[in-house]
Amino acid sequence: MWAELLPVGRSSASGGYRRYAWTGADADCRAWFREQAEARGLAHETDRNGNQWAWLGDPAAGNAVVTGSHLDSVPDGGAFDGPLGVVSAFAALDELRGRGARFTRPLGIVNFGDEEGARFGLACVGSRLTAGALTVEQAHRLTDGDGVTLPRAMEAAGYDPDTLGPDPERLARIGAFVELHVEQGRALDLSGDRIGIASAIWPHGRWRFDFRGEANHAGTTRLADRHDPMLSYAETVLAARREAELAGAVATFGKIGVEPNGVNAIPSLVRGWLDSRAADQTSLDTVVTGIEKAAREHAAAQGVDLDVVRESFTPVVEFDHALRDELARILGTRTDLRVPVLGTGAGHDAGILSDRIPTAMLFVRNPTGVSHSPAEYAAEDDCVAGVTALADVLEGLACT
Ligand code: HGY
Ligand code: MN
Ligand code: MN
């Protein structure tokens, strides 16, 4: 399974993945998911928001146990972020069938669409729409860097955007969602453990800073006469690092747009995207407020205009305590595993759904902690341990 998925959407230039929502690579991932489902005799469906489901048993019976993750990637992302959870879901089912497990609850395997928000800028579009955390109007306004809206992109991929919307009936049939994911940090590497259970997700968001200055000639414009938005942007990036350090948080400017983007032209516009996350809401607010204050002061001093727009936000997630503790109880019976409980700064579909249904996460050790990079890696024996742990959890939750 892993080998079949590995080449899909991989850039030969970077070795990273470019599996963006509603593109050809996304379609290839979706075809792979459907093949895996049908090869196992599972009922495959794509829901109104473009999420894919594979069912063992009839979901209408309710109280289903669902596992899975996402297949889309960030630009030049790694092979594990998302796909490890989907491949492990199918492999865990294979393992349970090998054990002769008898399911007493419906089992679902899910591929949530557009989790990374790489194309349209908003994370977890498929799960947010399903949970009613994103309105249809907001979704229809999402636009990519080429000006293509989400509805047009869906149509080009052969999907009807008019079906988008909340799906309370579907969520009402799910009793528990467990997402396995490669750890995006080094906690398990540092503790020497293969598997972890998630406790919480830090509040985090994305803000777009638009610095509008005055286009001019790079060679003939006196420094004193410039209104250079790049200068204000640079100062803001440095302020972001200062504010994050002060608050024990993180802040990243990883994406930038420059107009007209000419070597010998002072820009008219510099657009920078801030990703900031902190252990609690107060710290996050302090960081973002501090960054915006510094940006506005510098922009004003340079005669540069600034607009700041919050494009994506996820409040702190506390995973369901009963489900978290049930996973710990089930895995606690394993004498060969110690399974610590740990928080994360990475967002996930399990986080988006957590205020609608009980959700939990299993993390698989990432020996370098590197993620959102072609260098992302997890050792095969740790991945196999993840499959076994997921199988144990699914057996404990859904089988006699
Ligand atoms: O950005 C995140 O935290 C996740 O990888 N979507
Ligand atoms: Mn990710
Ligand atoms: Mn992910």
Average pLDDT over residues 374-393: 98
On whether the CB atoms of residues 354 and 320 are closer than 8 A, the answer is yes
Average pLDDT over residues 366-392: 98
Same domain assignment for residues 350 and 283: no
Same domain assignment for residues 195 and 61: yes
CA proximity to 14, closest of 61, 75, 70: 75
Atom of ligand 1 at shortest distance to CA of 371? 5
On whether the CB atoms of residues 278 and 287 are closer than 8 A, the answer is yes
State the number of CA atoms in the 13 A half-sphere of 273 facing the CB: 13
Per-residue pLDDT for 138 more than 90? yes
The CATH number assigned to the domain holding 26 equals 3.40.630.10
Distance from Cα 263 to the centre of ligand 2, integer Å: 33
Interstrand relation of 305-314 and 43-46 (parallel, antiparallel or unpaired): unpaired
Same domain assignment for residues 295 and 165: no
Same domain assignment for residues 308 and 338: no
Same domain assignment for residues 148 and 283: no
Nearest CA to ligand 1 atom 6: 116
Distance from Cα 352 to the centre of ligand 3, integer Å: 12
Same domain assignment for residues 358 and 250: no
**Ligand 1 within 6 A of CB of 390:** no
Secondary structure (3-state) at 304: coil
**Ligand 1 within 6 A of CB of 346:** yes
**Ligand 1 within 6 A of CB of 179:** no
Distance from Cα 116 to the centre of ligand 3, integer Å: 7
Domain extent, residue 146, equals: 2-202+316-398
- Res 155: pLDDT: 98
- Res 400: pLDDT: 76
Starting from the CA of residue 345, give the closest ligand.
Answer: 1
| Rounded Cα–Cα distance for residues 254 and 390 (Å) | 34
Answer with the one of 282, 314, 346 that is the final residue of a domain: 314
Average pLDDT over residues 70-91: 98
Distance from Cα 205 to the centre of ligand 1, integer Å: 10
Q: Which pair of structure tokens corresponds to residue 151?
A: 């509805």
Same domain assignment for residues 229 and 363: no
Number of domains, the chain: 2
Distance from Cα 83 to the centre of ligand 3, integer Å: 8
CA proximity to 196, closest of 213, 184, 211: 184
On whether the CB atoms of residues 64 and 107 are closer than 8 A, the answer is yes
- Res 219: pLDDT: 98
**Ligand 1 within 6 A of CB of 118:** no
Same domain assignment for residues 17 and 146: yes
- Res 209: pLDDT: 98
The residues pairing with 35 across neighbouring beta strands, listed in sequence order, are none
Output phi, psi for 337, to 5 deg. Answer: -130, 140
Same domain assignment for residues 188 and 57: yes
Ligand 1: which of 252, 312, 348 to mutate, most ligand atoms within 8 Å of CB?
348
Secondary structure (3-state) at 151: helix
Same domain assignment for residues 146 and 287: no
The CATH number assigned to the domain holding 213 equals 3.30.70.360
Dump pLDDT digits (tens) for 178-233. 999 999 999 999 999 999 999 999 999 999 999 999 999 999 999 999 999 999 99
- pLDDT cut 90: percent of the chain above it: 99
Average pLDDT over residues 260-285: 98
**Mean pLDDT value across the chain:** 97
On whether the CB atoms of residues 310 and 236 are closer than 8 A, the answer is no
Sign of CA dihedral 320, 321, 322, 324: positive
What single-letter DSSP state applies at residue 42? P
Answer with the one of 267, 298, 314 that is the final residue of a domain: 314
Average pLDDT over residues 76-102: 98
> 71 pLDDT band (50/70/90 cuts)?
very high
Per-residue pLDDT for 309 more than 90? yes
Dump pLDDT digits (tens) for 310-352. 999 999 999 999 999 999 999 999 989 999 999 999 999 999 9
- Res 23: pLDDT: 98
Same domain assignment for residues 58 and 138: yes
Q: How many helices, marked H, and strands, marked E, lie in the chain? A: 13, 15
Average pLDDT over residues 278-286: 97
| Rounded Cα–Cα distance for residues 345 and 199 (Å) | 11
- pTM of the entire structure? 0.93
- Res 102: pLDDT: 97
Distance from Cα 337 to the centre of ligand 2, integer Å: 26
Atom of ligand 1 at shortest distance to CA of 347? 3
On whether the CB atoms of residues 19 and 13 are closer than 8 A, the answer is no
Atom of ligand 1 at shortest distance to CA of 81? 5
On whether the CB atoms of residues 76 and 17 are closer than 8 A, the answer is yes
Nearest CA to ligand 1 atom 4: 347
Interstrand relation of 64-70 and 107-112 (parallel, antiparallel or unpaired): parallel
Answer with the one of 272, 293, 314 that is the final residue of a domain: 314
On whether the CB atoms of residues 309 and 210 are closer than 8 A, the answer is yes
Same domain assignment for residues 50 and 128: yes
On whether the CB atoms of residues 273 and 204 are closer than 8 A, the answer is no
Atom of ligand 1 at shortest distance to CA of 74? 5
- Res 335: pLDDT: 87
**Ligand 1 within 6 A of CB of 123:** yes
Average pLDDT over residues 358-377: 98
